Structure 1
Amino acid sequence: MGVLQGRRSAPVLAVAVLALVAGCTGGSTEAAGAPGSTTSSASSAPAAPPAQLALSIADGAADVSPAEPLEVDVTDGRLDDVEVTDGSGAAVAGEVAPAAGDPDTSVWTPAEDLAYGTSYTVTATAASAGDQVTTQTSTFTTVTPRLQDKPDIGPLDGTTVGVGMPIRVFFDEPVTDKAEVERHLTVTSSTPTDGVWNWVRDDEVHFRPSTYWPADTDVTVEADLFGVDLGDGVWGKVDRTVAFHVGDEHVSVADAATHTLTVHNGDQVVQTYPMSAGSDKNPTHNGAHVVLEKLAETTMDSSTFGLAVDAPGGYLAEGVKWATRISNNGEFVHGAPWSVRQQGSSNVSHGCINLSDERAKWFYDFSQPGDVVEVVNSVGGTLGPADGDIYDWAVPWDQWKAGSALS
């Protein structure tokens, strides 16, 4: 599995247990039991020093993240017990276990995440080599957020998508500390990629590789944002994990100059259809579009993207069949029986890719969300932010990488 971003450890109580130092000295210079011997070796040994405890969160600390690791260092002794209670005195369930790869450290892991806006008391007990008991206590209060943000993530868990579908994370409010958020977003894939996060907006971050996802790839997104300060009083509410599958590679090329739609399944051309793209007054945008949804029948209304029906270039078309949406600016691949005579010879649409109803149904049935339709040779501009939330593949790779807060 390829690991592409760092992630936060779960909230733990890490206990570093240092080596017990017990001094030993020899007995008297006389042999044991010899005449005149008055001092034994045991009585000449110095007493073991008391165990020393140090807690990482100071007593009285406030505004602590509930995900902050709670560390207890023990010197000259052994850790006997760790107890955590909340403000009412109720015990917080957890367990102590050796830390992975560190035999000198034990880890206390809470059974459930600590809460925001809550007082906790940690009591650690250690014993020296002579069984002298030492106790250290710290009481602290976790932060009370102005807002707890539970971001939405796409694709949805358990879905299958096309090779052009980016990962999208949506926040309730603009994120102030974007770098900290990125440090807690992890993407792994069964086929490793070079993917990078890019903040397309202050409240939305996307992830994509330099080229389309490899087909037949399993992808997992871990958003470990509980206890993370997003800035301006907003903190992460939960950790989330989403897993999805990248299916077959469906990439189609809509050439506005030759008026043809060429459909690929992997490296095979499976259809070449005559089409009509957007007219010179209403051109289709160039660039890689991503299939967003499919509508068996719909009404197309230019006012849905800001152009009044009675304005120049406006339109209202009812009963449009087999509409496969490829952007949020009103661009579809759909059936258009009214333009069949122009399909293959001229561009007359309001920006959509017009096909006959029969061909549009075939494309509708073939397509899945995340498939790619690359529009080339249109007189229009390139797909961009004004055209909806997935224009990712139209951004050059170097520019895309520069959109990461960790770049």
Structure 2
Amino acid sequence: MRRRRNSRRFLLVFALLGLLLTTACTSSGGFYTPGSHAKSSKALAPLRLSIAGPAAGATGVSVATEFPITTSGTVTSASLVASDGTRISGSFARGDRTWIPDTQLSYRTKYRLEVSAEQGRISKGRTLNFTTGGRGRTESSELYAPDGQTVGVGMPVVVKFGVSVPPSRRAAVERRLFVTAQPATEGAWHWYSGSEVHYRPKEYWKPGTKVSVRLGTGGLELAHNRFGYSDRLASFTIGSQVITKVDNASHTASVYKDGELIKQLPVSLGKPEAPTSSGIHVVLEKSADKIFDSETFGLSHADGGYKLKVYWDVRFTWGGEFVHAAPWSTADQGKRNVSHGCVNLSTENAQWFYDLSTVGDLVEVVGTETKVTPGDGWTDWNFNWDEFKAGGALNGSAAP
């Protein structure tokens, strides 16, 4: 009898356990498989994809147009197709939210933008058709970047517009000025005026850096009804770091290459009534020989001026200051200042310096009676970083 009672008890326990398990698995607050539940939730979430910019079927669209794209997933492809079948590549910018064609679009041309996105196993595409407008009144723009060349570590990117860009348009224009560097390098733009803007990195470029520049203002409105003529492209490589420190007190130029002092040269600078400009200068150009004429800066030949051929000329201000050969002042070099503002060297030393120098190298002059005027040369390095950025339309108030 005891065995029968025990068997009944076991059967009752098993039945109760079965009932509890069944109830737990079917109740609203019971167990679930997280993975399958997450998949179900993700599958139910809609994939959103939209293209901003010109309206569908729009005409008269700018050839400098950009395309903001919004998606809840990931954009897998985007390309622009012209009516003749030509595909135009592009890339994302503005925080990876805007797709920008890599080249200026053609005028009066039909285009189709095709965008695809994915979210999990869901994919979606969007198409936008539009037609660009005709060419308006255009203005030329100059890009001062030595395409295909190797330059010094102080080289800025200089852009000059054929029309003055008003303050209200500078941010839009600056957004179309693209500089990319390998390795990535922090930099900013600075407006010297409505017609001139410069780009420089926060610190001197690192030797070996590859820099690519796109002046993407073709077809962009620069001023009221005045448009950029065409895009401009350039790329250059940063060479060795060459910095020449010219000290007025010691009448010496100390030349450093990649951080090491390689030569010290005796110099004669501008005399007190025509001092050499102190400041951080950038080599602008160089010539094996050049005619120097004092009448170009107001000193007549009758009043002690000159007109002569000068050799091994390395220019660092637009106002006419050079490092050059001056055999007539060799006895004064290293002792006193007798020039009209240039840095005088012996012929031998000048040729050595000329051979070493390249556009973009740095010449730092200290201790003279005057400072360089902003804009008299590429004077960007005379601003500290915060001051320089403040001159940009996107990093502070633009210059008037």
Matches within 5 A, 1:7-26: none
Evaluate the alpha carbon distance shift between residue 137 and residue 300 of structure 1 in structure 2; reply closer, same or farther with a 3 A threshold.
Answer: closer
Query: Is this contact kept in 2: 1:276–1:342, CA < 8 A?
Result: yes
2:62 is aligned with what amino acid? S
1:401 is paired with a residue whose SS is helix
1:161 matched to 2:151: yes
Task: Kindly indicate whether the alpha-carbon contact (under 8 Å) linking 2:248 and 2:367 is maintained by their aligned counterparts in 1.
Answer: yes
Q: Per-residue CA shift, 1:83-124, capped at 9, x if unaligned?
A: 999xxxxx5435699x99xxxxxx9x99996544x48598x9
User: Cα distance, 1:227 vs. partner?
Assistant: 3.8
Deviation at 1:186, TM superposition (A): 1.8
Code of the aligned partner of 2:193: R
Counterpart selection for 1:247 from 228, 239, 242 = 239
Aligned to 2:379: 391
Opposite residue 367 of structure 2, the aligned amino acid is N
Superposition TM-score, scaled by structure 1 size: 0.68
In structure 1, list runs of 5 or more residues that go unmatched: 1-18, 21-53, 73-82, 86-90, 101-106, 125-135
Q: Judge conservation of contact 1:56–1:71 (CA < 8 Å) in 2.
A: no
Deviations 1:97-152 (A, max 9, x none): 9x99xxxxxx9x99996544x48598x9xxxxxxxxxxx998867254121x4532
Within the candidate set 256, 276, 283, 1:284 is matched to 276
Q: Following TM superposition, by how much is the alpha carbon of 1:362 offset from its aligned partner in structure 2, in angstroms? A: 0.7
Equivalent residue for 1:151? 141
Distance in 2 of aligned mates of 1:326 and 1:137: 51
Q: How many residues align structurally?
A: 317
- Write the mapping of 1:2-401 to structure 2, written as runs, cut at 5 A: 57=55, 63-68=60-65, 91-94=83-86, 114-116=105-107, 118=108, 142=133, 144-147=135-138, 149-176=139-166, 177-304=169-296, 306-310=297-301, 315-385=305-375, 387-388=376-377, 390-401=378-389
C-alpha distance in 2 between matches for 1:246 and 1:115: 33
* Displacement after TM superposition at 1:71 (Å): 10
Q: Secondary structure of the residue that 1:368 maps to in structure 2?
A: coil
Contact 2:294 2:307 in 1 (8 A): no
1:259-285 residue CA offsets vs partner (Å, 9 max, x unmatched): 001000111111101111111100000
Which amino acid in structure 2 is aligned with residue 66 of structure 1? V
Give me the whole-angstrom Cα distance separating, in 2, the residues matched to 1:339 and 1:255. Answer: 17
The change in CA–CA distance for 1:221 and 1:308 in structure 2 (over 3 A counts) is same
Percent identity (aligned): 39
Paired residues of 1:287 and 1:383 also in contact (CA < 8 A): no
TM-score scaled by length of structure 2: 0.69
1:403 aligns with: 391
- Structure of larger gyration radius: 2
Equivalent position SS for 2:232 = strand
Determine the C-alpha separation between the residues in 1 that align with 2:213 and 2:102. Answer: 23
Give yes or no for contact 2:135–2:219 (8 Å, CA) kept in 1: no
